[in-house]
A = this chain, B = another copy of it.
Amino acid sequence: MNTADLGLPVDVPSTALFTDQYEFTMVQAALRSGTADRRSVFEVFTRRLPEGRRYGVVAGTGRVLDAVENFRFDPGVIGFLREHAIVDGATLDWLAGYRFSGDIWGYPEGEVYFPGSPILRVEGSFAECVLLETVILSILNHDSAIAAAASRMSSAAGGRRLIEMGARRTHELAAVASARAAYVGGFDSTSDLAAGFRYGIPTVGTSAHAFTLLHDSERDAFRAQVDSLGRGTTLLVDTYDVAEAVRSAVEIAGPGLGAVRIDSGDLLLVAHRVRQQLDDLGARDTRITVTSDLDEYAIASLAAAPVDAYGVGTQLVTGSGHPTCSMVYKLVARATTPTGALQPVAKKSLGAKYSHGGRKWAARRTDAEGVAEAEVVGTGPVPADPALRQLLVPLVERGRIVAREPLDAARERHIAARAALPMSAVQLSRGEPVLPTEYV
């Protein structure tokens, strides 16, 4: 399947250049030294969660599968590599025939993770695996960062609706991926039409201050909007005086007005006043949406306010202080032949970044009540203990993708995985990872 078949508004003819140059030069040197086809295992993991965070959220797995499938070298790309002498002719020939033919296992999308969790395991020849490093990390590091912020916000919102509206605060295509990751993390809809087009996420949106300013009066603007979009629309009431705007809104749309939106000011205070005013005007079912610089803390602080929906922008698409994860892609085992026995490997420089060598399994151990109590990571045979819920699932088998799923499946999986964590996982306060990672 080509990503274009999925209705991608931005066609991705190839993902092969979303790659750091050293991956190509390593392939060249390995082809020449005869080590390129050594059987190899790479794993994606983090050494730590962002400071103070209790859990991470795996997101982007579906996009990784698209990227692996489209990792191909068309003549234009080969020509570029030749012209700039990035690699030699033998390597170009090898690249021209590239298709990933190995296996990928991973945590399914939406699952939570902890330091050391082997989120993705890529197996095949050294050369075919090493090339995928950058594109896999780009996707998982970005999407998981956004999903983690979204998950905290959706806990804080406690069932109230969450609208992703951060497109203007991030790269235009990162925005589409952010809307997708936010949905996985528990958001309900997005303002980003490309995300609706590409992933079928519900889209929402009605009007901005510019629409009010365009008209000769606020009343003219409200009348124009209600005439065109119906009384179920959301009117923006903070361009001039909020109380007057609410009065006009209900007068023009009637008490069946769908919603009002407040985008500035002291939201707690203003929401209470607006609710009272709407109720007094008989518009008891008119909802209140708030949308000004919200993050998980602001959402939580509005729990006592009569707010029906939150629109979140900047803080969501920038990961609420943590715009990226620290996932790395490391060679953990390799053979000395294409099919030989795997030997664990790990970097060992003094005082340096430490890694656990060896091909790993991972499981979540639960107590008698089904509450998670540890992330267990091991090498060797997978234990048959029923208290250990195995976390790695097959995603790609011999180059064939075997784990496509609707985005709702990832969203539901996330909500279930989060619910199975100890209660303190959803506290917003800073703390340690809510589960310890045990190496066995």
Interface residues of A (CB under 8 A from B): 7, 9-15, 17-26, 28-33, 35, 38, 40, 42, 67, 76-77, 80-81, 84, 86, 88, 126, 130, 133-135, 137-139, 141-143, 165, 167-177, 191-194, 196-197, 203-211, 213-216, 220, 223-225, 227-229, 233, 238-242, 264-266, 314, 317-318, 323-324, 326, 329-331, 334, 336, 345-353
- A124 vs chain B, min Cβ distance (A): 13
Q: Do B9 and A10 touch across chains, with their CB atoms under 8 A apart?
A: no
- A233 vs chain B, min Cβ distance (A): 8
A167 to B132, CA, bound (A): 12
Question: Given the complex, which residues of B lie within 8 Å of A9, measured CB to CB?
Answer: 13-14, 17, 76-77
Supplied contacts A29-B224, A126-B214, 9 more A-B pairs, CB within 8 Å: A7-B80, A9-B17, A18-B176, A20-B165, A21-B191, A42-B210, A240-B347, A242-B349, A318-B324
Given A214-B38, A228-B29, A350-B241: A197 touches B17 (CB 8 Å cut-off): yes
Q: Do A210 and B21 touch across chains, with their CB atoms under 8 A apart?
A: no
Question: Given the complex, which residues of B lie within 8 Å of A204, measured CB to CB?
Answer: 21
A334 to B209, CA, bound (A): 13
Question: Given the complex, which residues of B lie within 8 Å of A133, measured CB to CB?
Answer: 168, 208, 210
Question: Given the complex, which residues of B lie within 8 Å of A14, measured CB to CB?
Answer: 9
Given A19-B193, A137-B169, A193-B20: A241 touches B349 (CB 8 Å cut-off): yes
Question: Given the complex, which residues of B lie within 8 Å of A351, measured CB to CB?
Answer: 264-266
Question: Given the complex, which residues of B lie within 8 Å of A242, measured CB to CB?
Answer: 349-350
Q: Do A138 and B175 touch across chains, with their CB atoms under 8 A apart?
A: yes
A204 to B25, CA, bound (A): 10
22 A-B residue pairings within 8 Å (CB atoms): A7-B80, A9-B13, A10-B13, A11-B13, A20-B168, A20-B193, A21-B191, A28-B228, A33-B228, A40-B214, A80-B196, A134-B192, A141-B168, A141-B170, A170-B324, A173-B173, A210-B331, A214-B345, A242-B350, A264-B352, A314-B324, A318-B323
A323 to B323, CA, bound (A): 7
Given A80-B197, A318-B324, A350-B241: A20 touches B167 (CB 8 Å cut-off): yes
A332 to B426, CA, bound (A): 43
Q: Do B22 and A207 touch across chains, with their CB atoms under 8 A apart?
A: yes
Indicate the member of A242, A331, A346 with the most B CB atoms within 10 Å: A331
Q: Do A203 and B84 touch across chains, with their CB atoms under 8 A apart?
A: yes
A270 to B126, CA, bound (A): 30
Q: Do A348 and B239 touch across chains, with their CB atoms under 8 A apart?
A: yes
Closest B residue by C-beta to A173: B173
Given A139-B172, A208-B22: A227 touches B33 (CB 8 Å cut-off): yes
- A6 vs chain B, min Cβ distance (A): 12
Partner of A22, one of B130, B191, B214: B191
- A112 vs chain B, min Cβ distance (A): 21
Q: Do A336 and B216 touch across chains, with their CB atoms under 8 A apart?
A: yes
Pairs of residues from A and B, 4 with the lowest C-beta to C-beta distance, nearest first: A21-B205, A33-B224, A22-B205, A264-B352
- A428 vs chain B, min Cβ distance (A): 21
Q: Do B26 and A210 touch across chains, with their CB atoms under 8 A apart?
A: yes
- A172 vs chain B, min Cβ distance (A): 4
Q: Do A21 and B141 touch across chains, with their CB atoms under 8 A apart?
A: no
- A329 vs chain B, min Cβ distance (A): 8
Given A22-B206, A25-B206, A29-B225: A238 touches B352 (CB 8 Å cut-off): yes
Q: Do B350 and A265 touch across chains, with their CB atoms under 8 A apart?
A: yes
A20 to B176, CA, bound (A): 11
A175 to B67, CA, bound (A): 15
- A344 vs chain B, min Cβ distance (A): 10
Q: Do A205 and B11 touch across chains, with their CB atoms under 8 A apart?
A: no
Q: Do B331 and A86 touch across chains, with their CB atoms under 8 A apart?
A: no
